Structure 1
Amino acid sequence: MDRHGHAISNRRCVWVNGPIIVGAGPSGLAVGACLKEQGVPFVILERSDCIASLWQRRTYDRLKLHLPKQFCQLPRLPFPDDFPTYPSKNQFISYLEEYARHFDLAPKFNECVQWARFDDTCGLWRVCTANQGKASYGGEVEYIARWLVVATGENAEAVVPDLEGLGGFKGKVSHVCEYKQGAVYGGDRVLVVGCGNSGMEVCLDLCNHDAKPVMVVRSSVHVLPREILGKSTFETAVFLKNGSHSVLGNVEKYGLKRPEIGPLQLKNAMGKTPVLDIGALGKIKSGEIKVVPAIKRLDSNSVEFVNGERVEVDSVIFATGYRSNVPYWLQECDFFSKNGFPKNPFPNGWKGKSGLYAVGFTRIGLSGASVDAMKIAQDIGKMWKAETRQTKQFNACHRRCISQF
């Protein structure tokens, strides 16, 4: 055991002459590309067996980017011109794979970080991983570096609420990260818990496959048209609160209560993304998607709501979002809050102390991650180049001194 209680048997140490990046999603790839431009070496550690595992393994088939592509591209490489305004899931994955090839990024896959901490004694970060691959040697690797970049993002772990009676429900229970398409639910009455973009799109997809979705709307939600007058609502943000009402009409009579503050204020304050409607609202108005209030309890084949209504259901899908997993592995309490987000909001949440950085926690999507990635690379680049020059000068002086003897 080391002095922090970590077992050290079978652990080999690897020195990284540059930063350690934890996470090979879009944010981690963006930092890597920007560091390549600075000439800084690095290592990317990824717990899964591929880049962008959230997109490749935990998203539904019909998913498209909710914002126009120009707001979602990563630094130094735009989307192909022939991609549509809202690229599909597969198109976005192909873009990320090309991004990794273009910048020669080679993450170390199946490396699950067990813990990471800053060693005050030597002034370095220590990051311990366990290999998750099929050919795992069963040991651990400890990476040691001057800098640590946390790029695991906002959506690392699925959130499933603990509902009364859930354990006794006889139907299928899953999280939206397991949902692919609605064909397997044809004819079923499906309880969808959550009314964000994922919940709305899953309900729409279920309708298109002849299922009967029942959507739980526990709190208020902003529903906006994806486009207004041919423009993305993201581009016409100042128009959102009043303009969406005139386009979509009064949605509160369908069980969708509007928050008191505007969508952008809500997004910045609480991280709640407005729903960009692509057809679900029409299904709600026609009654094909039934909107219900919060759940009181479940039994073997039905659900009771807080208003006393009871509905029989065959399956439950939790569209209840994700959370950061940073508190589970990063032994640091000054920079990150207990919820796994930097304490300082965007644009000031990218840099901590002792060489610690964060990217992908801005709550404003890939555009915010790209901004932070460039800042991080520039900051590390300056220090790395200065330290490299000092080392070269020292080595040259050392060689001259030796040559004189």
Structure 2
Amino acid sequence: MFSFSDQNDFCGRRCVWVNGPVIVGAGPSGLAVSACLKEQGIPFVVIERSDCIASLWQKRTYDRLKLHLPKKFCQLPKLAFPEEYPEYPTKKQFIAYLENYAQKFDIKPQFNECVQSAKYDEACHLWRVITVSTNGSTQSETEYICQMLVVASGENAEGVVPEIDGLKDFSGEVIHAKDYKSGEKYTGKKVLVVGCGNSGMELSLDLSNHNAKPSMVVRSSVHVLPREIMGKSTFDLAMMLMKWLPLWLVDKILLVLTWFILGDTQKYGIQRPSLGPLTLKNHHGKTPVLDIGALERIRSGDINVVGGIKRFNHTSVELVNGETLDIDSVLLATGYCSNVPYWLQETEFFAKNGFPKTPFPNGWKGKCGLYASGFTRRGLAGASADAIKISQDIAKVWKKELNHKKQKVPTHRRCISTF
């Protein structure tokens, strides 16, 4: 339970004292931490800039999206997926699971609040988190004051839009993958898909399914693996093999099996990296593509693979090999990035790219009550592992302080309300 004070500070900013941690982000990472804290009986506040939980899934994903990994690797702590769900749940099913998750653990985020800054006050030994309301035409500021801060805003908070020569002069539609819903409106159109990761491959497939004419830009090397090998998830098989074999050997086995199933992808303009898929993922965070049908469309010519872009013109694109393609639309499947550097005023724990400097599996805890959830580059399983460790660590601190101080908090606080 909580109540807000009607009093504001001299700047007109509402101040809120939070007894437990403030969690920034109500996506899967933030929900997982919240549920684990709830089970420990620790109060918290979740701040979310959107008007719903898991806004990336609800508002910035395409209609045909399914989980790329089996559901057992994607469930959050304390709650399994319903048994009737398929091995690879759909977007709608995953959103329903998350909404049920929030309801089950009574997680009620403060919606429509965008964090402007979060800074540790050395004098007071407290975090000061300033938010601006994003609801309605009138903006209001709130300052949350707490001893612990959990950064759960995600690896994919913002879409990356690269600077490409001439792109601003292109006369057709240019959208990022986060704004793409379906290929239905692109029927018969020539669409340039910039990017060949999981999103680029799947959006090219979706465009092909809607009788569009996609050309996919493959500028760098990428591993394409089958989603399943001999009826078993490729990821599941890799995890099983790594229990007994070294990483390099597992990579070799996966690539040999992939060659038998998918053939030589280099024949279609898709070069493989020199490092194996798991080694590349561990060292550089680059996820291999799990093929769900795009490669077959590439073989048939329904998806055209092209090289790097030199420049855009008014109605066409010029490639580095000198070829020119007439196109109607551009779809930027160019990835996402963390937005942490824009609001977190801290440089010791988080790097300039918005990820913890400490490598996995120890990048979940910083100093002065700072935590990071969901920055492992290991998907939902990594976020769940973070949530468990964070909640256990916070519980130790919480119980220690309760025993030591017996909650020696003044009964009257001016300009501060409590959660």
Kindly provide the CA deviation profile for residues 210-258 of structure 1, in whole angstroms up to 9, marking residues without a partner as x.
1000000000000000000000000112332221112111010100000
SS in 2 for 1:97: helix
Residue 222 of structure 1 aligns with which residue? 223
Aligned residue among 109, 112, 131 for 2:111? 109
Which range is displaced more, 266-275 or 95-104? 266-275
Aligned residue among 20, 34, 37 for 2:36? 34
SS in 1 for 2:107: coil
Matching residue's letter, 1:94: A
Residue 386 of structure 2 aligns with which residue? 372
1:264 aligns with 2:278: yes
Aligned residue among 106, 126, 129 for 2:128? 126
1:275 aligns with 2:289: yes
1:304 aligns with 2:350: no
Q: How does 1:313-352 map to 2 (within 5 A)?
A: 313-352=327-366
CA shift for structure 1 position 393:
7.6
- Identity percentage over the alignment? 67
CA shift for structure 1 position 52:
0.3
Aligned residue among 11, 28, 38 for 1:9? 11
Kindly provide the CA deviation profile for residues 275-322 of structure 1, in whole angstroms up to 9, marking residues without a partner as x.
100100000011110000110000010000101010000000000000
* Partner Cα distance (1:56, 1:394) in 2: 42
Residue 241 of structure 2 aligns with which residue? none
* Partner Cα distance (1:326, 1:393) in 2: 32
Aligned residue among 42, 45, 69 for 1:43? 45
Cα RMSD after superposing both structures: 1.2
Q: How does 1:12-27 map to 2 (within 5 A)?
A: 12-27=14-29
Q: How does 1:110-259 map to 2 (within 5 A)?
A: 110-134=112-136, 137-237=138-238, 238=250, 239-259=253-273
* Partner Cα distance (1:328, 1:174) in 2: 23
Q: How does 1:352-363 map to 2 (within 5 A)?
A: 352-363=366-377
CA shift for structure 1 position 138:
2.1
Residue 402 of structure 1 aligns with which residue? none
Kindly provide the CA deviation profile for residues 5-52 of structure 1, in whole angstroms up to 9, marking residues without a partner as x.
xx9722111000000000000000000000011110000000000000
Residue 416 of structure 2 aligns with which residue? none
Residue 400 of structure 1 aligns with which residue? none
* Partner Cα distance (1:56, 1:97) in 2: 11
Matching residue's letter, 1:164: D
SS in 2 for 1:235: helix
* Partner Cα distance (1:316, 1:8) in 2: 49
CA shift for structure 1 position 59:
0.2
* Partner Cα distance (1:236, 1:220) in 2: 23
SS in 1 for 2:236: coil
* Partner Cα distance (1:377, 1:289) in 2: 46
Q: Is the 8 A contact 2:205 2:297 kept in 1?
A: yes
Is there any run of 5+ residues in structure 2 with no aligned partner, and where?
A: 1-8, 239-249, 410-419
* Partner Cα distance (1:348, 1:30) in 2: 18
Residue 4 of structure 2 aligns with which residue? none
Aligned residue among 291, 315, 327 for 2:305? 291
SS in 2 for 1:192: strand
Q: Which has the higher contact order (CA 8 A, sep 6+)?
A: 2
Which range is displaced more, 237-246 or 149-158? 237-246
* Partner Cα distance (1:54, 1:177) in 2: 8
Specify whether residues 129 and 326 from structure 1 end up closer, same or farther in structure 2 by C-alpha distance, changes over 3 A only: same
Q: Is the 8 A contact 2:401 2:407 kept in 1?
A: no
* Partner Cα distance (1:132, 1:138) in 2: 7
Matching residue's letter, 1:272: K
Matching residue's letter, 2:265: V
* Stretches (4+) displaced over 6 A: none
Paired residue total? 388
Structure 2-normalised TM-score? 0.91
* Partner Cα distance (2:373, 2:328) in 1: 40
* Partner Cα distance (2:10, 2:59) in 1: 33
* Partner Cα distance (1:131, 1:203) in 2: 37
* Partner Cα distance (1:197, 1:173) in 2: 19
SS in 2 for 1:154: coil
Matching residue's letter, 1:209: H
Specify whether residues 252 and 350 from structure 1 end up closer, same or farther in structure 2 by C-alpha distance, changes over 3 A only: same
Matching residue's letter, 1:65: L
Matching residue's letter, 1:225: P
Residue 417 of structure 2 aligns with which residue? none
SS in 2 for 1:357: strand
SS in 2 for 1:242: helix
